[in-house]
Each structure stands twice: as structure tokens, then as C-alpha cells.
Chain A
């Protein structure tokens, strides 16, 4: 170790990987992973979220986790986004591609992708 910059580089690289344990993340993406959700294809959706969140450098503020049955089985895979101080957004009939779009537009850009939300589905 010859400089502080080297240390900082390691720290930056590692921070994303341990921040998950601090419980300080502000945004939560929750994927419905009950039997219905998994049957409808929730696993690739979850994978796409985890990947996209990391790739867009959002790992310091967003956690991706799963939950049980949300209750709207015909709309699975369902994904809910909780942001501090904002109303929860529920996305339905998600796919891996839609997941990437949500990360890009909603989590990064701050604009809810209205056409995928439950409000637009009924």
C-alpha cells in the first residue's frame, strides 16, 4: 500500500458488497416469491433486479429482497418498490426486461413506469 488512493479504491470497490449489512438502505425492492410468484416467473425477475441495481451503481441505496404472496396471484410476478417518504409502487406481471426498465427509469431516473403498475392493469 503506497498511497491513500489505493486504499480508497479498495474501499469503493468493497463498499457495495458490505453495505447490505448496515440496514441503512433507503429504497427496498420486494419481489413476490410465493409459489404463485415463482410459478409465474419471479426468479428471473429477481435476478434481473439484483443485476441491474448493481450495474447502475445503486447498491449503496437499494436492497432487493423477496416476500411471500401479495394476494394478487393472477398478476404475478409482482414487485413492490418502497421509497422512504413516498407511497409504495406496485408493479405487476413483471419480466426480466421490465425489471431492467424499472431500475433505469424509476430507481435511477425517479420516474414511476406507470404502464407496468397495478393501477394500469385493471
Chain B
């Protein structure tokens, strides 16, 4: 009989830090200890604390082990599983309280988890995503059962409308309304499409849901199909997510086997068929019309709307298209009701939002918080603050389509409308934190490089406009621009926004506009003073050796890849050897010398 469960994170983060070999080590050590009958090994989806991976949790105690290596496994098995003594040195403890008995700390007691409200991620890190029975044990498919046996399609739509659920892919369009527009349209075949083409740099919410709880997407899509009268569904997921694709396919196969997909589900006469379509990694295919064009087998390019997909979508048929996270909310809304959902979040943005925390932050990972939580709480408390005692500068939301939130607005309550009001956007949930060492012009340039690459080329404002924007930013960061260029830059931004065909172009200038709004002084420093205040833009930097600090060890000279550092004749007072100097003509500003100097004698100026 099983008395303990060992949960090993099998999300992409922990897999890449070696959770597969840890699982194998557990298997062999558990077998060696003769515990196969007593201890069950479960591979789950993402727990959220990716920075601390690979992550292992032992139940019933809920002991949370972080940064486990294969060498630790033997100790965990022999001490904890056999003798019941948790391995203290591996336990992660951050309860925010002092003098706690860390052997009794469970994951839910940590600050990182305490402030979260897991609706979308409720099963991630709890169930085995490859086992449909475990999903069913967690009320899985009960919502589909309820919908098919007790509710009329219009009741389902009304419930979703009442819940106030808004599209989590970034647009924030009311989901119920989308379904309502699609439902009355008559057609031989209607479609439900799940957008899992998560392309924002730094965002991995949807991947984690697909990896950790794939059945909830299947269930939600079937519910949507029933509500709008569609019998066929597609999940469009990027091929760069191999684990998510494999688990989702496995889940679809299981659901078909159980008759939870296919013909006459729950004896209701409702049929629903679900298939996966792989995206080839084009960012524009996250745009709904481009996505559908791609499913049809054509080159992924957007088309003008109207007609909207609800009228003419996939294969010119009425189609409902929602994002992974949006779908993941649906089964819970059906089971617990619209009022329950509305009780979370703010008046106009109900429910929760998942954020992928990245950049200069202690707890890189995945968090789910109620809408209306302040950015300060997300970054300082849940995220654990900025590493190395650096100062917070800004947070980028919405990836290449979004904007940045500066320190002065860190107490903004995060929801759709508040972020739009400050010229930012919610986006799909990527949250990249930047500290004083990040140059905001360089950051805008990074995202512009991305959109230039990803522009599909169909419309001129986006194709040519973003390229010109990037050239202007290049001019600024290389110190060749004047003040007039900043005005031109801004003007072009608005032009691209107004004239582009789809969301990609319409939002591509946002990182530039937001940084211009909040960090104009940095642009001016680049243009007028020819300086990069954060010390990032290489063309505006010179590397200098402080001749009085230099002890003449020569370490920098030996490590300089271009031989730009030479000995001088000057011996500083108190030193025995002559100091070195950098030949600025030869210097490529790689920073290797700074990294090597133990006396902090080399500076960027």
C-alpha cells in the first residue's frame, strides 16, 4: 500500500536542470530500499519556482526540496522515506517568519505560495499530467458532465459572461461575449481553436498549463464547443514546446479512449473531436487570423477584420478562438459559478492572472495572483525582490507588444484597465524585471529587433516601419543621433500603431513609446551627452584603467582577447609594478578585463 508520494517536477524548467535523471535516481534508490510498494513516484507539471529547480515534494508531509541533484536522492530515500527524517539541508524555507521548524514547512507556507491564488495552475505540480484518472479525481471532466447533462448552451454562455472572464492572451476581450457572437451563426461546421502559440520572449504560462494540466484545456474546449455548437477543435501549439505537445497528445488519446472526446459524450448526443496543429515558430501566428490561416495550411499572415472569426474564421466557418489560460479558467467557473469567479480580482477584471517572472528577480518562475495585486507585492514579496541588492528600475509587461512600468508606478494594481491607463498592457503575462544596470533604450531596441524579425511582411507600416525604428534606435545607441531624431522616432511610432494591419504592428512601437514616456532622460543622455547611464551601450562607453589603483599584476592584459592592454611607465605610489593602460582604438569593450581585475581598477565611463 502506498503511504508516501514523491512528486518530481517535469516542467520544461526542471527538465532542463535535470529532473529526468533525478526521477531515474529515485526509481533505483526506492527499489534498492525495497520501498516500491510504499512510495509512489509521480512526475508532475510546473510548481512555479523554476529558479529553485529541480524541485521535489514529498507527501503527506509536503516537504519541499529545492535544487536537488542526483547525489542527494540516496539521502532523501534513506533518511526521509525510510526513516522519516527530512533532509534539512535541501529543504527550501522562506516563510517570512523566524524560528520555524523547517522540517515542518510545506510548500504552501512559503511566501512565494501564500500570496498566490491558484485557479489556472491548481493542478500544476499536484497531479500527474499523463494520468487522466488523477485529473478526474480533482473534479476533472465534472464541468463537462454538468454542462452536457444539466445546462443549455445559452446557460453556459451566460455563466461565462456573468463571470466577467476576459481573454488572457493579452487582448482582454470578454470571453462570454466572444462565444455569444459565435453561437447564433449557422454553419455546417463550426470550430473551437485554442491559441497555444506563446511567442513573447520570457513568457511560459501557457506551456506550463499544457505540461501540467493538459486535460483541463481539453475539457474547456469541449465545453466551448457545446456552448457555441462546434464539434471540432484545434489546439495550435508551437513546435518549440515538445513536452507540452507530447503530454497534450497523450491526454487527447486518453480522453478519446474514455469517451470524453469523440461521439456521444456522456450519452448527450454531443460529439467533439480535438486535434493538435503545430506552429513553426512565427510570432505573428499568435495573432488570431494568422493562426487560423496557418492551421489551414497557408503561410501565417493576418487578414483584416471584420469579418471577425466568430462569423468567418477557420475554413471560413464561425470559430471561437481563446488562449490556453482563458480556457483553463472555464471548468472551474462552470463548477463553482460566476459569483465565485467574480469574488476574485477587481470589478472589471475578475479572476486571477498567471505571470511568468523573469529578468532581474530572485524567484524566476510562475505565479498566479488575483487581479488587482500591486506590482510591488508581485516583485518584492512573491518574487523575492531584486538579486545582489540592486535597485528596481522598471518591469516590462506584455513582451514586445507591451510597455514598461517605472518605479514611480510600482504600486499600480495590476489589471487590464489600470495597465492600459498608464500606457502599458497586460499582455499574455510575461513580466520581465529590470534593475539599474539595464539601459532602457537598449531594452526597447531588443524588442524592436524581435518584431523586425517577426513581422510577416504583409503590410508596409509594420514591415518597413519597424525596420526604420530599429535603425533610429541604433543611431541613438551609437551616439550619432540628435534631438530631432527622438521626435521623428516618436512620430513614426504613432504612424505604425495607427496603420498596421494586425496586432503585431499595432503594438510593436509600444516598448519605444513607453520608454520614451518614462525614461526620456535616458534617450537624451544618449543623444546629447553621448553617454549610456546604465553602462550598456558599447559605442558610448570607454574602458579606463585607474592608474593609481592598478597594481600592475597584468591579469587584464593576459586575458584581453584583442591585446588592447599595455604596460605603462608609471608606477603608482605604494605599488611596485608599473600600471597598465587600455588602447581605446583596439578595445572591443567586451568587459573581460573588468571581470578579471580583483582591485576594481577598471571602469566604464
Flag whether B242 is at the interface (Cβ < 8 A): no
Which A-chain residue is minimally distant from B3 (CB atoms)?
A50
A1 CA to B137 CA in the complex, in Å? 15
**B259 pairs with A1, CB closer than 8 A:** yes
Q: Provide the B75-94 mask, 1 if CB < 8 A to any CB of A, else 0.
A: 00000001111000000000
Residue A66 interfacial (CB < 8 Å): yes
- What string of 1s and 0s marks CB contacts (under 8 Å) between A13-36 and chain B? 111011011010100101101110
Q: Which of B56-64, B154-162, B198-206, B536-544 contacts A (4 or more CB under 8 A)?
A: B56-64
Choose the segment among B261-269, B406-414, B493-501 that binds chain A (4+ C-beta atoms closer than 8 Å).
B261-269
Question: Does residue A84 face the partner (Cβ distance < 8 Å to B)?
Answer: no
Q: Are A7 and B38 in contact (CB under 8 A)?
A: no
Say yes or no for A64: interface residue by CB 8 A criterion.
Answer: yes
B window 136-151: CB within 8 A of A: 136-139, 141-142, 145, 149
Q: Are A50 and B38 in contact (CB under 8 A)?
A: yes
**B230 lies within 8 A of chain A by Cβ:** no
B84 touches A23 (CB 8 A): no
Contact A18 B1 (CB under 8 A): no
Let me know if B62 and A23 touch, CB within 8 A: yes
Contact of A63 among B60, B127, B139, B141 (CB under 8 A): B60
Asked whether, in the complex, the Cβ of A1 is within 8 Å of the Cβ of B258, the reply is: yes
Q: Is the CB of A21 within 8 A of B3?
A: no
Q: Does A38 contact B (CB under 8 A)?
A: yes
CB-defined contacts of A25 to chain B, threshold 8 Å:
60
CB <8 Å contact, B7 and A47: no
* Residue from A4, A11, A50 within 8 A of B149 (CB atoms): A4
Residue A86 is within 8 A (CB to CB) of chain B in the complex: no
Bound Cα distance A53, B106 (Å): 24
Once A25-B60, A63-B60, A64-B3 are accepted as A-B contacts, the answer to whether A2 and B137 lie under 8 Å apart by CB is no
Is the pair B4, A1 in contact by a Cβ cutoff of 8 Å? no
Q: Is the interface of A mostly helix, strand, loop or mixed?
A: helix
List of A residues within 8 angstroms of B62 by Cβ: 23
Find out whether the CB atom of B259 lies under 8 angstroms from the CB atom of A65: no
B566 interfacial contact with A, CB 8 Å: no
Q: Which residue of B lies closest to A53 (CB)?
A: B1
Q: Is the CB of A66 within 8 A of B84?
A: yes
CB distance from B6 to the nearest CB of A (A): 11
Nearest-neighbour CB distance to chain B for A1, whole angstroms, equals: 4
Residue with the greatest number of chain B CB neighbours at <10 A, chosen from A1, A2, A7, A28: A1
Tell me if A14 and B137 are in contact (CB < 8 A): yes
Q: Tell me whether B134 is interfacial, beta carbon within 8 Å.
A: yes
Point out the residues of chain B lying under 8 angstroms from A11, CB to CB: 136-137, 139, 142
B260 within 8 A of A: yes
A14 to B4 Cα, complex, angstroms? 15
Q: Which residues of A contact B266 (CB under 8 A)?
A: 1-4, 7
What 6 additional pairs, Cβ within 8 angstroms, besides A21-B126, A23-B60?
Answer: A7-B136, A7-B142, A17-B2, A20-B5, A64-B3, A65-B4
